[in-house]
């Protein structure tokens, strides 16, 4: 299975402006034909450009991309992602119009899974994709980076800027006393889901407030056997006790 993602410019209309006049047709055709080809994905429009992500069998995705490349509703098409995938990012999406506000978590996961490619873009490419993906914001550590690590706060964030100041304060107290295991923090459920805890910790890290270290090795305590006292040993021997 593969994933292809591209951006394209909408052709300029007679009014010398770019309008997504073909978007409804693209979506209706996709919903009709893509389920048969086992293709899923999203499409979105911003600032005169389409962004589309397609996932599915190699042959079917390539065939569809060939059609899109020759479609007059697309200009200056740039395929910025063409990779093999094991798992779909938009498993239940029959190539639907994507709302970044309501479905942000889906798209954030897609960005995170492909951050290595996105962070390799030059300035021109970053500007091209900026309406959909903020490369600077996507330059974050992977979701699993903190797993198995110990965390400790070096300073507190400004609680006036937090949407849940009491919860963040409780978390800060916990992370200030001593290094605390990320796994224990995420598993407790005290500060939200695993993903939510990761997002909070990631923001602390981005602000330079966090120390992330490998856990200290656990040394087994050994009980030192006392060597027999020679004087008492001699007394016991004299008294016939040994």
| 98-113 exposure pattern, b = at least 16 Cβ within 10 A, e = fewer | beeeeeeebbbebbbb
Asked if 45 and 27 touch (Cβ cutoff 8 Å), the reply is: no
Q: Which range is most confident: 39-48, 67-76, 202-211?
A: 67-76
**Nearest residue to 1 (alpha-carbon basis) of 43, 33, 41:** 41
**pLDDT on residue 20:** 60
Which residue is listed with tokens 């800027």? 161
Question: Counting Cβ atoms within 10 Å, is residue 47 exposed (0-12), middle (13-18) or buried (19+)?
Answer: exposed
pLDDT (tens digit per residue) in 83-103: 999 888 887 666 656 655 445
Whether the pLDDT of residue 77 is over 90: the answer is yes
Least confident of 11-15, 129-133, 214-218: 11-15
Q: Return the pLDDT at 101.
A: 42
Strand 49-56 versus strand 150-153 pairing type: unpaired
Record the tokens describing residue 151, joined without a space.
């965390």
For CA atoms 104, 109, 110, 115, the dihedral sign is positive
Distance CA 128, CA 8 (A): 10
Contact 197, 190 (CB under 8 A): no
Mean pLDDT, residues 126-147: 75
Which pLDDT score is estimated for 236? Answer: 59
Find the largest Cα–Cα distance for the chain.
Answer: 118
User: Distance between terminal CA atoms of the chain?
Assistant: 79
Rounded percentage of the chain residues whose pLDDT exceeds 70: 74
pLDDT value for 102: 45
Does residue 2 sit in helix, strand or coil? strand
What per-residue confidence (pLDDT) applies to 214?
Answer: 86
Lowest mean per-residue pLDDT among 42-51, 70-79, 87-96, 194-203: 87-96
pLDDT of residue 135 exceeding 70, the answer is: no
More confident residue, 238 or 196: 196
Q: What is the mean pLDDT of the chain?
A: 79
pLDDT of residue 56: 92
Quote the distance between the C-alpha of residue 54 and its chain's center. 19
How, if at all, do strands 49-56 and 94-97 pair? Answer: unpaired
Q: Which of 5-14, 27-36, 114-123, 208-217 has the lowest mean pLDDT?
A: 27-36
Tokens read off for 80: 């910025």
Domains of the chain: 2-133 (3.30.70.100), 150-213 (no CATH)
The confidence score (pLDDT) of residue 164 equals: 81
Using the structure block, give the residue that is written with the tokens 């007679």: 14
pLDDT in tens, 20-33: 666 667 777 777 77
């Amino acid at each position: 299975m593969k994933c292809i993602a591209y951006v394209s410019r909408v052709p300029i209309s007679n009014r010398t402006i770019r309008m997504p006049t073909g978007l409804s047709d693209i979506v209706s055709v996709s919903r009709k034909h893509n389920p048969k080809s086992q293709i899923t994905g999203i499409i979105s429009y911003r600032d005169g450009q389409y962004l589309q992500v397609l996932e599915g069998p190699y042959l079917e995705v390539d065939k569809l991309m060939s059609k899109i490349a020759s479609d007059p509703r697309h200009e200056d098409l740039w395929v910025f992602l063409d990779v093999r995938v094991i798992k779909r990012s938009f498993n239940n999406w029959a190539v639907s119009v994507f709302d970044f506000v309501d479905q942000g978590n889906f798209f954030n996961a897609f960005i995170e899974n492909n951050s290595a490619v996105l962070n390799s873009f030059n300035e021109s490419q970053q500007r091209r994709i900026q309406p959909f993906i903020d490369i600077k914001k996507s330059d974050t550590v992977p979701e699993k980076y903190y797993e198995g690590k110990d965390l400790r706060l070096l300073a507190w964030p400004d609680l006036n800027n937090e949407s849940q100041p009491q919860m963040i304060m409780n978390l800060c107290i916990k992370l200030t006393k001593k290094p605390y295991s990320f796994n224990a923090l995420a598993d407790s459920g005290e500060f939200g889901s695993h993903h939510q805890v990761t997002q909070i910790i990631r923001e602390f890290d981005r602000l330079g407030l966090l120390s992330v270290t490998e856990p200290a090795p656990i040394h087994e305590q050994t009980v030192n056997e006392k060597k027999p006292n020679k004087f008492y040993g001699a007394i016991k021997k004299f008294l016939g006790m040994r």
